[in-house]
Amino acid sequence: MKNKIISCCFPALFLAIFPAVTMAAVFINEAAWMGGETSANDEWIELRNDGQESVDLAGWTLAAEDGTPDMNFSGALNKIIPADGYYLLERTDDGTVPEVAADLIFTGALGNNGEVLILKDKNGVEIDRLNASSGWPAGDNASKQTMQRTSSGAWVTAEGTPKASNYSSNQASLSSQGSGASSEGEQGQLKGSISGDSSVKWPEEERIYASAGEDRAAIVGADVTFSGKSLGLKKEPLENARYLWNFGDGSFAEGKSVRHFYKYPGNYIVALDVSSGQYSVSDRLTVKVAPNELGIIEANEQFVKLENKSSLTIDISGWFLKSGNKVFKFPNSSFAAPKSELMISSGVSHLKVAEEAAVEFLYPNGSAAFVFSNVKPARETLIINRSSSIAPVKKVAEPSRKTDATIPSPGISVSPVSKDLGKIVTEKMNQFSSLSESIAATGTEDLASVITIGDDSQPKGGYLKWLILALVIGFFAASGLILTRRPACVQRQDR
């Protein structure tokens, strides 16, 4: 009997002397799946380590069953979750929860209709699972209160407590400190006033609210319409607010609803700043701009056929088809499906594109997105220039008969100058005779190729060659006249 008493008391005695040693347990503790009051994109998730040892999360993953979001802790800013501590994951950037530093930044939105989130360690072993496939068990999209896990494992809706004890823990803390709350309702009135680490949580300041809209896709050159919304201090529609847009490509505009188009593909972060009196707030969205792969592939008197080669559904509301002086405007809610063709009947558009006519596809701003033409390409015309392959002109041999420009006369001596002049005239006459025979052999069609000197791109060269030829002929004529008249003059002097 004595042995039985000792065996029964020993475990209790051991636990009383030595603190309980438990393995560190990491689990999903809180989720702001609905975003924040500033932006619906301000989503965040909190992990909790209720063990007595810190845990290295390198190699761990937290992913949705559908693949988005998918978080790997290996690239995190901080990979260690402390003992009895918290770990904060923020979407897009560290500004999601401005007053608390993020441990990991992730991309990809949490679905408002629920997700299945699975936490695995570096060996791929499942550590925790949040099954919200049929909808989130807690959290409020209207009030932006988060979904929080209680000590019993249940989920409740309460004001967000990033990197701090959840609502149920605060209640227990207040009750154990003898706060005087005698009922659950009174405790509820004090929730969030003091966190589990005894730090003071400042009351939330009055503020206004803004929304830039959801992320979207666009194509190069097409107008994108941005429409902002804002609410006042009491969440009433805000009147006379100022809206300032930054489109992420260096340009900006002012107005509640504005249009903008992007010249180049890429991912652009668009920021909206809303101000009213002393209050201001901002929101942002992402625009993915793809190359324009929408154009006309066929046009005739019966129809105009468009083709969208991209994987995006393109809004072509307000776009135009223009042929000649006729214009067709696409009505509102007109779309081009991805990877498909779209035929516009001439009975609808009143465009009858004839042969050798063109049709333009215009953006809403009037600039050309695509130009289609039925004009057939002109036939090639052979142009002979200096680079053409033309048989060289054969040099005509000088006549075998001797031509002497000097006429010997008794008692008359011919000066050396006269002999030289005669020789020059003879050479020029032979060159001119060779040129004439070459032209005759080549034909009139290749006349330009024979006499062209220099580059055809220099029009002055043509005038110059004819001027030189005229001077040569004039020189020949003058020389021949002088030579024929000189013997007659000499004979008269002899008489």
Say how many C-beta atoms besides its own lie within 10 A of residue 38's C-beta.
Answer: 20
Q: What is the pLDDT of residue 409?
A: 40
Pairing of strands 303-308, 294-299: antiparallel
Q: Are residues 339 and 423 in the same domain?
A: no
Q: Is residue 165 part of a domain?
A: yes
Q: Are residues 30 and 161 in the same domain?
A: yes
Say how many C-beta atoms besides its own lie within 10 A of residue 385's C-beta.
Answer: 12
Each residue's pLDDT tens digit, 338-391: 999 999 999 999 998 888 789 999 988 888 889 998 766 554 433 334 333 444
Domain that holds residue 237: 209-290
Say how many C-beta atoms besides its own lie within 10 A of residue 218's C-beta.
Answer: 22
Q: Which of 271, 290, 309 is the last residue of a domain?
A: 290
| CATH label of the domain that carries residue 300 | 2.60.40.1260
Q: Are residues 47 and 165 in the same domain?
A: yes
Q: Are residues 469 and 363 in the same domain?
A: no
Neighbouring residues of 301: CB distance < 8 A, sequence distance ≥ 6: 346, 352, 353, 354
Q: Are residues 43 and 157 in the same domain?
A: yes
Q: What is the pLDDT of residue 107?
A: 86
Report the Cα–Cα distance between both ends of the chain, in Å, rounded: 183
**Cα gap 450→444, rounded to integer Å:** 10
Q: Is residue 467 part of a domain?
A: yes
Residue whose C-alpha is closest to residue 306's, from 377, 216, 369: 369
Q: What is the pLDDT of residue 377?
A: 57
Q: Are residues 252 and 357 in the same domain?
A: no
Q: Are residues 34 and 133 in the same domain?
A: yes
Q: Which of 341, 373, 405 is the last residue of a domain?
A: 373
Q: Are residues 225 and 276 in the same domain?
A: yes
**Cα gap 407→422, rounded to integer Å:** 11
| CATH label of the domain that carries residue 82 | 2.60.40
**Cα gap 179→199, rounded to integer Å:** 16
Q: Are residues 352 and 474 in the same domain?
A: no
| Residue in the structure block whose two tokens are 């300041």 | 205
Q: What is the pLDDT of residue 406?
A: 40
Q: What is the pLDDT of residue 185?
A: 39
Number of domains in the chain: 4
Q: Is residue 151 part of a domain?
A: yes
- pLDDT tens over the chain, length 495 residues: 445 444 544 444 444 444 433 444 899 999 999 988 888 888 999 999 998 899 999 999 999 988 889 999 988 888 899 998 999 999 988 888 888 889 999 988 898 889 999 999 999 999 999 999 889 999 998 889 999 998 888 899 999 999 888 875 444 333 333 333 333 333 333 333 333 444 445 556 678 888 999 888 888 988 889 999 999 888 888 888 999 999 999 999 999 999 999 999 999 999 999 998 888 999 999 999 999 899 999 999 899 999 999 888 888 888 999 998 899 999 998 999 999 999 999 999 999 888 878 999 998 888 888 999 876 655 443 333 433 344 444 444 444 444 343 434 444 344 444 445 556 556 656 665 555 555 455 444 444 444 443 444 444 455 677 778 888 888 878 777 777 766 555 555 555
Region of 221 on the Ramachandran plot (φ > 0 left; ψ -120 to 50 alpha; else beta): left
Residue 23 in tokens: 């393995």
Q: What is the pLDDT of residue 5?
A: 46
Q: Are residues 254 and 299 in the same domain?
A: no
**Cα gap 66→141, rounded to integer Å:** 22
Q: Are residues 229 and 363 in the same domain?
A: no
**Cα gap 57→97, rounded to integer Å:** 21
Q: Is residue 238 part of a domain?
A: yes
| Residue in the structure block whose two tokens are 């392959």 | 389
Count how many residues are written for the chain: 495
Q: Is residue 473 part of a domain?
A: yes
Residue 98 in tokens: 């401005």
Residue 36 amino acid letter: G
Neighbouring residues of 11: CB distance < 8 A, sequence distance ≥ 6: none
Q: Are residues 285 and 343 in the same domain?
A: no
Q: What is the pLDDT of residue 463?
A: 64
Residue 470 amino acid letter: A
Q: What is the pLDDT of residue 29?
A: 93
Q: What is the pLDDT of residue 19?
A: 42
Q: Is residue 471 part of a domain?
A: yes
The pTM assigned to this predicted structure is 0.39
Instruction: Show the 3-state SS of the chain.
Output: CHHHHHHHHHHHHHHHHCCCCCCCCEEEEEEECCCCCCCCCCCEEEEEECCCCCEECCCCEEEECCCCCEEEHHHCCCCEECCCEEEEEEECCCCCCCCCCCCEEECCCCCCCCCEEEEECCCCCEEEEEECCCCCCCCCCCCCCEEEECCCCCEEEECCCCCCCCHHHHHHHHHHCCCCCCCHHHHHHCCCCECCCCCECCCCCCCCEEECCCCEEEECCCCEEEECEEECCCCCECCCCEEEEECCCCCEEECCEEEECCCCCEEEEEEEEEEECCEEEEEEEEEEEECCCEEEEEECCCEEEEEECCCCCEECCCCEEEECCEEEECCCCCEECCCEEEEEEHHHHCCCCCCCCEEEEECCCCCEEEEEECCCCCCCCCCCCCCCCCCCCCCCCCCCCCCCCCCCECCECCCHHHHHHHHHHHHHHHHHHHHHHHHHHHCHHHHHHHHCCCCCCCCHHHHHHHHHHHHHHHHHHHHHHHHHHHHHHHHHHHC
Q: Which of 255, 290, 325 is the last residue of a domain?
A: 290
